Structure 1
């Protein structure tokens, strides 16, 4: 916007036009001075506004720096939280593995308990079946416990220890002999018959009877 301030050409033009123009020009001088004052005031206000803008800019810059520091701290905190989350995730995975292993062990324990329950049930049935016999044998077992000496128990243990060797000898030596007795028995009977006939024949020979009596007397004397 152009200010209504007379220039050199306006002054020359006014001088050429006459006194009225000079008076009008002189009357415009106070207005020019007033406009200059207003311009100075505006310049002063503008300078103040610029100063305020500079202050606001400085404050904004400081605030941006502070916000940057806060952002850096927040970033570091996010990184730390990320590390904590990673560690927590790993720990959760490990706990999950432990839980899975525990579940497996619990399943095995349930299976074992089931087997134990079955065995206990069978034992209970067996006890129920054996209870009458055990009740009947109870006096005998008590008498056996009261009358059995520790040495007898040790001898029984020794006998049990020798049973494998005795069984081996019986199977190897005695059983074959007993199996052959069926074929030996007729031979023994025949041998006895022959011996009886031989005694009868010897008894008919003169002097054999007296010799036989002598041998029998000597045997009786011994």
Structure 2
């Protein structure tokens, strides 16, 4: 029972007795426990020795493990370094792969355009093939015509051979003529040059008129002069008529181009002879 003195709670006699009894029981237990302590301490020491041995073995094993861990860490560092190199290479490969992919996309786009062009080319090739078939048909016709032309050309070639033979003979004859007339031409060239230099336009016109009158003169000669000459001994009365005709003939002769030149040349020769 709890008692209060000056307002403070104090245990009662029953509480004191109960507490003493509890303390006496605890003291017995403590004595018993203290009596078993040396044996328990011995067992604990034995266990502690065994634990120390086990801890020493564990320490050795931990040292080995640490050594292995150190080696593993060294190899791990090397592996990490190699992994870094590989990562950098992979990054470069990824960058190149990205570039290649971009190029591949462009190639795909170009391939699409090429495919479109290819389709157009295929259609064009189809039309070209049709045109080619038409051309082949025309070529066959042309080949047949060419065969005919070749036959004609063969005939022409044979005729050309004949013409060449004739031309060769003609060339030989022309060569002979040239050999004959070239010296004559060379000698006559100065005379012809002098004749051309002294030939006037009036003389040319007179020669043309004379040529125009040649049919009439020929007719007069055959029908008038020649019969008169045949009967000259009997045509005394017709001398005047003959003189008139001769006068016309003289006028016509004077109209011949170059006649004046020849006349002067003849007069000069006559003067030289006299």
- Using structure 2 for the length normalisation, give the TM-score: 0.34
If the length of structure 1 is used for normalisation, what is the TM-score? 0.39
Q: Which has the higher contact order (CA 8 A, sep 6+)?
A: 2
